[in-house]
Structure formats: C-alpha cells, structure tokens
Amino acid sequence: MANSTVTECKEYLFKVLVIGELGVGKTSLIKRYVHQLFSQHYRATIGVDFALKVINWDSKTLVRLQLWDIAGQERFGSMTRVYYREAVGAFIVFDMTRGSTFEAVSKWKHDLDSKVKLPNGRPIPVVLLANKCDQKKDSNGDNSSNMDQFCKESGFLGWFETSAKVKFQHHNGWKKNESL
C-alpha cells in the first residue's frame, strides 16, 4: 500500500473588484492590504490597476486574490462592463468624510449588478467599506443601525469602517502607523 506523504495543496484564484468614487481611497486600501504602505499623496488611477494578494489560507490551501482597482472616474466611462467580467466579489468604497461619495454607492452597486453575475446567475457578493474612519465623519454621518439597514435593503453582505492610514489595534484604540 503506497501511502503518499506528499500533501496536496489546493490553489484558488479569485477576481475581486474595488470600486467607488474618485479619491475615496481604493488604491490606498489595496496598497495597505498588499504592501503595508500608505501615502498622503493622491494620484488618481487611470483606467484600472491590479494587485495580487496571496493568502496562505491553511496548510493545504493557497488563495490568490486578484484585486482590480478601478478608477473612480470610470463610472462615467464605457469600460466597466469589461473590467467587471468574471469577478466573483467586490468592495464598494466610500469616504466617510464626504457624503456625496456615500450617495454614489447605490449608483456603483446598480452599475455592478446590471453588468456582472455569478455563473449561477446570482449577483456577485459585495461588501461596503466606509473608509477614512481615522478622520472626522461628515456631519450627518450614518449610525451603524442605519448602515445595517442600508446594507440589507441594497443587497450588501455587510459593511466595515476602514482606514488605509492608521492601524486599528484591538484593545488599545487607534495607533498611528509607524511606517508613516
């Protein structure tokens, strides 16, 4: 009986979109997630950028996330249908300090749902990200039960407050990132 000692490693590749209005921090979030870096400097993305995040899920599973960083200005262009193709998940990002970027969230969601579906015909799963939570919220900022309700009504899996600038440390509150 040959008892193989070679452990099989399964690999998955997932295409994930990151969309939302101009300057909300899509590129910054991706840079933070993939390279642990942050820059104050704003350079608008032109068209689309890509990043790969490799996750050692467990000893037998490798996940590659192919992150598609789509420029905010593309909502007015004709390319999103092409960029969205075969995506299996998405993040829609808004800037907590600019209410207009939250108002655009539904427009992005609609654009997405009308142009891409999972192979089984269902909408792709989308998570809402309220970015720049290190800064002051826009005056009538939504509280969390409103956000829960909004997600339920609009078909988001859920939402998270995020910051590409500072790291959140459990139990210790906010801490400025040392790499700044």
Contact residues toward Mg ion (CB under 5 A) are 27, 45
Full DSSP string of 102-157: HHTHHHHHHHHHHH---TTSPPPPEEEEEE-TTSPPPTTPPPHHHHHHHHHHHT-S
| Contact track, ligand GTP, 132-161, x by CB under 6 A | x-xx--------------------------
Question: In the bound complex, what is the minimum distance in angstroms from residue 29's beta carbon to ligand GTP?
Answer: 6
- Using rule CB under 6 A, residue 109 touches ligand GTP: no
- What b/e sequence results for 31-56 when a residue is b if at least 16 CB atoms lie within 10 Å of its CB, and e otherwise? bbeeeeebeeeeeebeebbebeeeee
Would you say 45 or 101 has its CB closer to Mg ion?
Answer: 45
Residue 22 partner contact from ligand GTP, Mg ion, none using kind-dependent CB cut-offs of 5 to 8 Å: ligand GTP
Secondary structure (3-state) at 84:
helix
Give the separation between CA 38 and CA 22, rounded to whole angstroms: 17
- Using rule CB under 6 A, residue 163 touches ligand GTP: yes
Q: Which of 45, 39, 34 is nearest to 74 (CA)?
A: 45
Would you say 29 or 116 has its CB closer to ligand GTP?
Answer: 29
Q: What is the DSSP letter of 33?
A: H
Give the separation between CA 25 and CA 89, rounded to whole angstroms: 18
User: Judged by CB under 6 A, which of 15, 72, 109, 112 binds ligand GTP?
Assistant: 72
- Using rule CB under 6 A, residue 50 touches ligand GTP: no
Beta strands in 31-82 (DSSP E): 48-58, 61-70
Residue 118 partner contact from ligand GTP, Mg ion, none using kind-dependent CB cut-offs of 5 to 8 Å: none
Give the separation between CA 27 and CA 93, rounded to whole angstroms: 10
Would you say 9 or 44 has its CB closer to ligand GTP?
Answer: 44
Question: In the bound complex, what is the minimum distance in angstroms from residue 50's beta carbon to Mg ion?
Answer: 12
User: Judged by CB under 6 A, which of 13, 36, 42, 179 binds ligand GTP?
Assistant: 42
Q: Which residues bind ligand GTP (CB under 6 A)?
A: 22-28, 39-40, 42, 44-45, 71-72, 131-132, 134-135, 163-165
